[in-house]
Structure formats: structure tokens, C-alpha cells
Structure 1
């Protein structure tokens, strides 16, 4: 049984990166020789100190009281060891339990099966000793046991005094999309020096401009008001443990209540804001449950609006969006830069703490951090950057950054350059090339009334981007770097480009749409990136076409086919037009407006055919005169009997869609496709055959059967002349 005077080995688990910080905290709570391990801290503690950790630890996930250890490798050795444990010291024979296992041995490889073995050993003990049988309760068991296998097959059996993870304080019942756990928020505040700031000032001043559901605000208030994080928790696992000492626990709770009452006089000057009114409503509910709603001011504000400082000094700490979606990066690059600029301008002499997993976004802050700490957010490798905002009008000092490894405690200073730097030499060359191209094309696009064109196409290999202008919007495609290119360097160059593009093209960051282009195979070309559904019309020649820059890799029109589409419009007068592999039907719209008496468009994708219908309606064309067919073009041609005067065929390089028979390889299958199309072409008709396979060679059999003319060079406008292999195009007629 437990003893008030005994010393126990106690393990406290935590998130990666918090080990040393937790060790320091536990020693203040009475632990002896607390040592940081990976994901946990182990130390010696009395039962009262273990209880105090349950009540006061702001960082721990669980507090585990060690029962026994043994070197165990096989299932038999495990069972023999567990049979020696006196389980009646911890659990009633008809009580409830739950077992968790972490780690494996060469013979015990499945943690779930091992947990069942532990449970069975406990059940067998009570059946033999008391003829009673405890049951399993996964939600709220009387006792939760934990078995961990260390290296070398050392097994550590412990009792979980927590019951539930200690990050669950009891006040946060609602959260936004990507909330910080409460103990992670507390860790950020501790690393930011918040307790010392509170102790030194009469008034605690804190601001979170991306407050979400209010976790940082609540944890900062608990620290400032000296509130034990365990006080709001409705239940603790130790309360139903047979070894529990209620008098010890009650004394600690009363002490915590007295400290909370004494700390209530601390003046809080807190603000939080978020752009989402629903999230702010959640924050209000959470803070009300925490008893803090009257101490925090909450506002609904756009992310790019930072109010002037409301106090001379304080802590601005925040966890902005990270940019999990690539399309968000242009806006986030500007957001971080604007945040940094406003902090420097309006929050002089404040402390600034930024938590993010995107180092390149942190580079947008025009300050040098004096420290940065790696602190994981679940599986994300994140880092907390700490800045001191200088007085207004002064230049921030360049400081060295301590990159602190919490487990090994190495603290070698490593100089970094976290700031909104002037463009690097390479990035400036990129910006100059972009500006040169823009000037070069300006007269041409104005003369030809073109508002959609490619302004940059990997002109510099280091900045491997395709940049297209669509009216006042910009579509940026990053060519995925090969494995030989360092991922960090590629990300750095991308962020540099995103810094340059808005100023050179004079476009707002929220009108830049970023995607990564990889080799397209199978259904990838149809893969949906987002569901925003934002379509807008662009003008090309005499038609309007709908584009979507957010939802798909491609936008709805292939810009390099512009001359081909305009050629089709001229050739279409009085013809029956067939568009094979029609995509969104841009060529069909040109042919229809150009005077085709009827059009037929064939594609395997219903999404693209629906897009074509919208384009037809946009141009006020009679749907009855324009047939749309969802089919495999190759199989459809085999069944079709009508003749057409003008055919456009632009097949994919390769396709293996489940909805088509076999696969399509344009180099291999070109003769079959051309033959099938020519069977449907009238005697004096014209087939325009295009594809974008680099290195494509027209089949000698096709050259022998038909009159073929390579018109590739004629179908390249100035914006694609530097990329002559973007497509290949041929006129094909009957001999």
C-alpha cells in the first residue's frame, strides 16, 4: 500500500520538445532528480508531490506512478512477471480498468495484443484470489494501467494517476480547425517568459491577434492569476484508485483554491481577435467556463488588421496559420510580413512570440529573434521564435539565435537571418526577368486585346515557376523540384518569388493562386484541390471563357492553344465541328461563335462537360445545336457514323482512367486515333491534331496515308515562343 512518507519513481509524459521545461517545472513541484527523456520526464517524488503535479503541472500529459519493472521479452516472461503483482492494492475485484501499452519487443510486436495479455493477467488474479472479475472501461475506468517497453526490453508497469490527459483542463469544450492543446499553449507562454513579465509588472498585458478558440488567452490568464490548471477538471484518475490518500489531495486542492483567491486581484489587460466570428463565439464560451470572460476583450477582425498597441509594454504571442495548403502561401507570406511590419511600427518595447511550422514564413518578420525553440505541435515540426521589439524609429539589432534542443540540452548559438530581407541576388534577378517579360509583352497583349497570357515560364531554372496572368489575377505553378534539389532551398526560392511577384506584377497577394505541377498520370489531371467553386470570365478573341484558378491544377483553358483556337474560329464558318478530348470546350466555343452550324464535343469527364455547358450559356449559344457526349473518345469514334468538316483533337499524353478501355499512350496510339478521326472527316475537311508530349514523333504511317503539315511554329504566340516544346500541332487532310 502507499505511504505518505515513501518516495516513488514517477514518470510524467509530454509532447516532444517540452521535456527539459517539464523537468524544471516538476522540480518546483517537489520532484527530486527529474531527468528529461524523449517524450517524458522521470524523477523521484512523494505521493503529495505526484498529486501536486496532477493539480499544478501546466505541461504534462499524464503522471504515472511506477509499480514495478522487469526485463521481459516473451509473452511467457510477461505473464510470469505480472502474476507477482498484488493488483488488489490498486483495484477492487469488481472494479473497472483500462490498459495502455507503448513500445514492443521482438516477441511482443503488437501493443494491442500485449494490452490484452496484461488485462487477462489482472482478471486471472482476481478470479483466483477473490472469485471476482473486473471489467474494461475505456472512457472512465477506476484505474488506468500503463506498460512501457524501454530499449533492451525493460518493461515499466505504472499506474496512471491522471485518468485523462492533463491538457484537458475542463474549460475548452469547443475549438476551431487547428487548436493548440492547452499544455502546448502553456509551454509557449513559459518559453516566452510570461511568468517573469507578470511578476515584474502591476498589470499583465497580453495580445493574441490570431486567438482562435482562446487557448493562449486562457492559459496566460491562469498563469497571471495563479490558477492551478487542474482545478477546473471535473475528475482525476487518482480519486478511484485504492491507494488514494484523500486527505493529502484535499489539502492540496484547498491550497490551490486559496492561491486562486489571492491571485484574483491581479489586473489583466488582455485582447484577442480572429477573423471568424464563429471562432470568437467559441472563445467567449470557453473563457466563460474558465471564469475569465470579464477579464479578456475579444474582437472579430480581419487577419491583416492589427490595432495600435493598447499598453506601453506587454506580450504579443500568436499562432498564425501555417500554410498547410499550398494555395494559401502567397497570402500568408504577405500576412506574416504585414504582421511583422505592424509589430515593429506599433508595438515598440513589447515582447513578440511567434509559433509556426513554416520557417520561410517566419523569414517575413523584419526582426531578428533572440531565441527559437523547437516545440512540436502533434506531428508538426514547429518552432517558437522570440523577438524583442525595439523602440520606434530604431533599427533592430542583429542577434544570434539559440537553437535549443530540449532533450540533449545543447545550446550552441547558431546565427540565423530571420527578417524580411531585401531580395537575394538570385531573387532580384528573378524579379528583373519577370519585369522584363512584363514590359516585353505589354504592347502585344494590348494590341491583340489579350488578358490571359504566360509572363514567365521557368526562364531561370532555379526559380522553376510558370506564371500566368488572368485579368487582375495571377496563377503560379511551381514545377515540383527533382529529388536532387534540396527541399529547403526549393522552399526558400519559392518564398522569395512570392515576395517579388506582387510588387512586380502590381497584384494583391490574395489574388495570387499557387499550385505545384507534377507529372500527370492517371486521374491526377482531374484531381480536385479545393472546393471554392470561384469561376470568372476572361475574354479571348470574340468569346468569353470561364476559368477557375483555385479548384483544379489546370484553369479551364490551355493558354498555349490560344492561336489554335483562334484559327478554328476562322475555319469554322458553315462547318460541322467535332472536338475530341474537349476538356472545358474552349475550342468548341470559338468554333460556335465563328459560325459552325453544329458542334459535337466528347470527353470522359462530366465535370468538364458541365463546364462546357456553362461556357455555352455564357456566350448565349443554343444548347440544341451543340451536342455534348461523355465517352471514351476512342470507343466513341468506333461507333460514330456522322461526318464532320472540321475536327480538333488534343488527346492527353497518357491516360489509364477506369472509365476507358485499356490505356492511352499518344506516341503508341497516334495512328489508331488519327485513323478513327479521319474516317469521320469529310472529303475536303481538316483535322487539327495537337498534343503536348515532349519528343513526340509523328508516325511514318500517318505521313504516308495523309497530307500532313507541321504547324507547331505557327501556333506559338510570343508568350510561348521560348518554350517551343509546350505542344506539337499538325494539319491533317485526306490525300
Structure 2
């Protein structure tokens, strides 16, 4: 008989080795599957014992499928009465397409019709299709002009082990077959066979690694917990052979329960430990795991003198979750040279740097939609010691790049100087480090809480220029993310990381990694701050005697641009000196911080305009939190460019206008196709100037580094510009004086 065991991409070699160990004959690894021959009992044994296979298929035939008619005739010619018993239900699962059969649903329908018509002709009764819970599942797999028709003996995926209960932990699960593959790549089966095996599991999540390791060590068949099998509804089922295999598996499990297995685990994610313990109980394995810190886990692994296997699941880290990855890799460095083999499931090569070793084998797999790999490292007690940076206070920080010590020294120095300046100037939110070292081109900003204690860091990095190894640049960034919170006294969980890529018109944020929303000191955010709502994940900070809401979880920018600190203070002073109607207009207002300053300067009427409704809601909260409410303060959701044009035809005029424009915008809600500040600024500035009262002025700002105003065109329109950029660059941005451009706009 001919069989196929399907599996995830990359598992083929591991699955083939597993089937050989199960004494399955004629094993041939193929793409996404492993073919084998033998008796029905061999397929049954694979169903019951394979930890890596997804399904086990009995191949019935291969027939032509150049078009729908040939497919129908070929399938109808098969003796389905030998496979679908009278009264049994069936379903068809189709895979693959060709030039004539381009829809898998249609392929499944034609196969279903062929089977039903064959059974109707043979029995005089039409078989019933049941896609939800069929007795027999037929699999049709197209390849070119041929189709392979099989019966699924598993019925549902074999990785549905039955021990994963619903959990509120929020910890990303690792599918059992992926956990088994990770263990197989590390040679766990051979270690377990020798008895007294120990697994040191880093980030076991919801427990798959622990359950799969314990089941293998205790000789427990992974299929023992399953209540339903596809083979039991198939007309050709050999019940005696199946019952014999089940009895054998029960006997082995009973005997294996006397074996010993050591399960050590480290996972600091909320709910991980309880989820792991729940999975072990649900699997009925009768063993427990000892949870400890990553450092204690590494020490325990060393104490086994090479008998332990270290398995690390890094697949839960999203590519943009740099803060989490930096913390995880810092933990992994403790296992460098621990004398035990290490296997890691990772989306990149970062574990190589953490372990200071090249992998002995690399098995490429797919996690979700991303490419990943199972990287296996041989046991070594003489691996290069992990690099560490010793900070001024004596704390040691593991790093991936030895040169990161230079970054740490520089950061410590500028942090001391910046902290003195901040205390002198009464500034609590400021930029600490601004790409002082070319290889560590990051900006680090510190935010201190006002009404509730807390300190948060925002780390931003420009993408590495061409010619720089992206992997090296990423490791440097992760080192910066590891070092910065320890130098600045911030909880590593309160670090927000952003990666910026160079885009048309300047740099834009491409990826942003954040921890889950947290409130002050790690709790959930308060829903009320006074009488103004404080959304979950938000915090309150002070600037210039005013209170503002920041949020490092929800947006690309945290809610306040620190480089405009001096500009906002200037707006307040200008408003204090303004006579008459004292009306203020904020265009492209974002969270309305400039509006708050203007109101604090005595503005009697403010208008805040932005296209984003969430930003306007945020601006309204900022105003209310500082005591500025009522009809004198209006918030307008509109396309700023179109709105300015409309207002020119009204009597509405303002004494002071602030216009901080984006570099580029192509929002679908804009009336025009796009906005480019270099191309369109003159038209916008002219329009803004027409909204000023006699003697009024505006501040125009943009952050395009190469921006050059069209002075001649503006002059022809009667508009004068005064460059005040140098006066608006704060001290903590002095290294990057092109962070923005600012101009006072008046009508000649």
C-alpha cells in the first residue's frame, strides 16, 4: 500500500527520520510530505505515534485531471463502495490548481459529484456529504494534469493533541508539531531514550515544549488523547490491527510513567507559567515543571554537565518587537558555552550572536507567513564568553556586539550632562542621546510622569544605509535597547522602539515595536484622571507648567513633539502680547499641544483643525485636562488645505496661526491627490496669510531637512518670511539642528 504523511514546509527531513525510527518502510521525503509504503499497520502506527506529521493519507489512485470532465471520469472509475460504507458521510478536501481547474472549491465539487454518482450507481442510494464532521475525508491533490486521490486516515490534523485548553494568558502558543520539531532537531528522542533526560525550556509559552518533551521521555504516544480518527469511519478499516496498536501504546505509556524527566522553564510573560502547568495537567503526564529566572535556568543547565537540552522558542517575537527581542536575546546569552546543546526557533540569525556560535544545522520553516529557522547548536563548554558591558553602577548588561561598550560609555556621559541641564531648566521630557556615535544612529527620549510616577523611553533608529550589514545594524539597535533603560533607570518593559526608513521627502516610521498597553508602573491605565478620561496605555507628563497625555502604544508618535518645545513656549508669549480678539488657529494640529499653550497665553478663542478624529479627541482631552473647555475652543475635522481655501471666502480671521505641516501626505480623505511640502508650501503659506487679521502673524514649520522656501513666489503674493529656526531648536536637539524649520509669516 502507498501512503503519504503531510507536514509543514521544512519538516520533511525530520519527519523522514521519525518514520524510520518508527520502523516504517520505503520512506521518501518530498516537498511538504513524506511518502512511505508498507502495510496498513504502518500507517496506523504513524497516525498514533508521529509527533511531526500533520495528516496520514492512504493513496488510492493517480488519474488524469487535464480538465473537469477528465477529473470527474477518473474519480468516478474508482471503487468508492470499498471505502465509503453504506450510510457513512464523506467530504472532499482539494488542493492545487492547473490551467483548466483554477478553483479548489470547484475541484472539490467535481470530485464529490463523481463519488456520489459512483455510489448511487452501485447501491441505488446517494451518499451524504458532510463537510463539518464526515466519516470519510477524501483528499484530491492536483499536480499539473494529474490528480492524486487519497483517504485521510487522521480525520483532523494530528497536531490537534487535545491538551491545549482555552486560556486568558495572552501568551502566543507554539503549535505542538513545531515544538516537536524543535526537540527533534536537538536530538531529544535520543536523550530521552537514555533516561533521566532534562529539558531547559526558554519561553515555553502555553506549554507545548514541555508537554511534547515529557510525552517523548515517558514514551507516551501523542495520539492517545484523541477521541476521533478518520480511519474509524473508513470502510477498509482494520479494527483488530488498530486495537492492537492502541493496547501496545497503553502498555508503553504505563511502563514509561516510571521514567524520570526533568522539566525546567523560564518565561516571564504574564500567564505563561499557569498555562504551562495547565497543559501538563490536561495531557495527563503526571509531571511538573520547575520555573525559574533565565539566569537560574542557565545555571541549572550547566549543572547537568551536558545532559540537558536547551530549547528556546523565539517565534512569538514579531519582527518589529525590538524591545522584547533585545530582552530575550540578553537572556539567551547566558547559555553561551553552557556545555549543553541549544536549539532555537527564530525568525532571524540573532541567536548566533547571542550564543557566540554558528549553528550545526539550520532547518528552514515557516511561522505564520514569515520565514524562520530551527537553529541547532552543538554542546560546547569553551565557547567564547558572552560580551558584557559593565555600567557605572556595577550592573552588567549582556550585549550582542562587543563595540556596544563604547555606546554605553557615551550614553552614560551625555545622560549625566542632559540630566543636569533638565533639572536646571525644569524639563522632564527631553532627548538624551541623538546619534552621537555614527554606528549607533538612534535617538533616545526620556519621559517622566507627572500625576503618577513613571519613566518611559522612546528609542528611534533610522534604517541602516546601504552597505551596512542589516543584521549587524539590528544587533546594535538591540544592544542600545538593552543598555539605555539600565543607564537611565527605566523598566525595560517601558521602552518603545521605532525603526525609520528613508522615504520620499524625508524619513518615515516603518516599523514600531511596543509592549502591551501598560498603566503607571506596569498596571492598567486609569480610566479617569480627574474628570478627564485617560485611555488605557496613556500617561501624563508635564511641559511648561502644563499637562499632556502621551501614549507609546497606540500611535507612531507619542503625542508630543519634543523638538517644538521652544516653539510652543514662543506661541504662548506671542499670544500674551497679542491685542484685540486674541484668536488662535492651529492647523495640522495633531494632539493640540500648541493650542494648549496658546490658551494658557490668554487666547480667548481657539480653533484646532486636523483630518484625524482620534487626534482631535486627544487634543480635546489635552485642553480639558488643563482647564480649557467650552464653546470658545472649537475642534474641526477637515482636510486642512481645502479648509484654508474655504475660510478665505469667509469673515473668519485669526491673530496668531501655527501651521506645522507633514512632509508628505496622500490620505484618501484629502480632496487633492497628495500634499508635498516642498512642492505645495507656497500655496499653503499664501492661503494661511490671508486668514490673518491686520498685524497678525503665523508660524510655519516643517521637518523636511532639505526644505527651501520659495521666497520669490511668496514675496510676489505679499508674504514675508522670517527664519526663526535657530531660535526654536531646544538645547537637547542641538546636535540635529535640521530637526525642523520654522518661519514667522506676515503680510507685507
- The answer, yes or no, to whether TM exceeds 0.5 is yes
Residue 324 (structure 1) shift? 0.6
Distance 2:603 2:293 in 1: 50
Describe the shift of the 1:569–1:302 C-alpha distance in structure 2 as closer, same or farther (beyond 3 A).
farther
- 2: CA distance, partners of 1:242 / 1:631: 68
Task: Please say if 1:396 is aligned against 2:383.
Answer: yes
Match of 1:408 in 2: none
Aligned to 1:562: 565
**Map of 1:189 onto structure 2:** 183
**Residue in structure 2 matching 1:198, options 180, 192, 202:** 192
> In structure 1, what is the Cα distance between the partners aligned to 2:494 and 2:653?
45
Q: Which residue of 2 aligns with 1:309?
A: 300
Inter-partner Cα distance in structure 2 for 1:269 and 1:441 = 50
Task: Determine if contact 2:482/2:492 at 8 Å carries over to the other structure.
Answer: no
| Structure 2 CA distance for aligned equivalents of residues 192 and 526 of structure 1 | 36
Q: 2:740 aligns with which of 718, 727, 730?
A: 727
**8 Å contact 1:356–1:362 — kept in the other structure?**
no
Residue aligned with 2:107, SS: helix
Q: Which consecutive unaligned segments of at least 5 residues does structure 1 have?
A: 1-7, 400-418
User: Residue 446 of structure 2 aligns with which residue?
Assistant: 469
Shift of 1:227: 1.5
Task: Tell me the distance in 2 between the aligned counterparts of 1:214 and 1:489.
Answer: 32
Q: What is the CA-CA distance between 1:459 and the residue it aligns to?
A: 6.1
Please tell me the root mean square deviation across aligned C-alpha atoms, in Å.
3.6
Rounded Cα–Cα distance in structure 2 between residues aligned with 1:296 and 1:699: 75
Please say if residues 7 and 54 of structure 2, whose CA atoms lie closer than 8 Å, have aligned partners that are also in contact.
Answer: yes
Indicate the SS of the match to 2:354. coil
**Distance across 1 between alignment mates of 2:293 and 2:606:** 48
Q: Does 1:215 align with 2:193?
A: no
Paired residues of 2:265 and 2:297 also in contact (CA < 8 A): no
Mapped to 1, the partners of 2:131 and 2:556 lie a distance apart of 45
Q: CA deviation digits over 1:45-104, x for unaligned, max 9?
A: 111111111112222111111111235423333233223211111113543111222222
- In structure 1, which of residues 665, 686, 693 is the aligned counterpart of residue 697 of structure 2? 686
| Structure 2 match to 1:609 | 616
Is it true that 1:651 corresponds to 2:650 in the alignment? no
CA distance in 2, matches of 1:560, 1:468: 11
Mapping for residues 566-585 of structure 1, pairs under 5 Å:
566-573=569-576, 575=578, 576=582, 577-585=584-592
1:512 to 2:495 alignment: yes
Q: Report the counterpart of residue 425 of structure 2 in structure 1.
A: 448
Query: How far did residue 355 of structure 1 move?
Result: 2.4
The residue aligned with 1:253 is 246
- Which whole-Å CA distance do the structure 1 matches of 2:652 and 2:400 have between them? 63
1:25-424 equivalent positions in 2, closer than 5 A = 25-150=18-143, 153-174=145-166, 177-201=171-195, 203-272=196-265, 274-275=267-268, 278-292=271-285, 294-297=286-289, 309=300, 312=304, 313-320=307-314, 322-324=316-318, 326=320, 328-341=321-334, 343=335, 349-360=339-350, 363-365=353-355, 369-387=359-377, 395-396=382-383, 423=401
Equivalent residue in structure 2 for 1:534, among 529, 533, 537: 537
- The partner residue of 1:703 within 708, 715, 724 is 715
Structure 1 stretch displaced more, 456-465 or 524-533: 524-533
Give the alignment partner of residue 546 of structure 1, picking from 545, 549, 570.
549
Counterpart-to-counterpart distance in 1, 2:509 and 2:379: 47
1:599 matched residue in structure 2: 606
C-alpha change, 1:728 and 1:268, in structure 2 (3 Å) is closer
CA contact (8 A) 2:499 2:512 kept: no
Q: What SS does structure 2 have at the residue aligned with 1:33? A: coil
* CA distance in 1 between partners of 2:78 and 2:234 (Å): 16
Structure 1's 173 and 432: CA in aligned 2 closer, same or farther, altered over 3 A? closer
> 2-side partners of 1:475 and 1:643: how far apart?
38
Separation (CA, whole Å) in 1 of partners of 2:401 and 2:250: 55
The alignment partner of 1:552 has SS state of coil
Q: Is the contact between residue 266 and residue 297 of structure 2 (CA under 8 Å) also seen in structure 1?
A: no
Residues in 2 aligned to 1:179 and 1:687: alpha-carbon distance in whole angstroms: 54
Structure 1 residue 361: Cα displacement: 5.0
- TM-score (normalizing by structure 1): 0.84
Per-residue deviation at 1:365? 3.7
* Pair 1:221–1:430, CA change in 2 (3 A): closer
Inter-partner Cα distance in structure 1 for 2:431 and 2:230: 63
Partner SS state of residue 32, structure 1? coil
Deviations 1:661-691 (A, max 9, x none): 3354444544543344334322222222222
| More displaced 10-residue stretch of structure 1: 696-705 or 458-467 | 458-467
Given that 1:337 and 1:366 are in contact with CA atoms closer than 8 Å, whether structure 2 keeps it comes out as no
The runs of 5 or more residues in structure 2 that have no matched partner are 387-396, 449-454, 518-535
**Structure-2-length-normalised TM-score:** 0.83
Deviations 1:505-562 (A, max 9, x none): 56553332112335499xx999998783433333433433332233211122222222
The alpha-carbon deviation at position 501 of structure 1 amounts to 3.9
SS at match of 1:583: coil
Give distance in 2, aligned partners of 1:715 and 1:66.
75
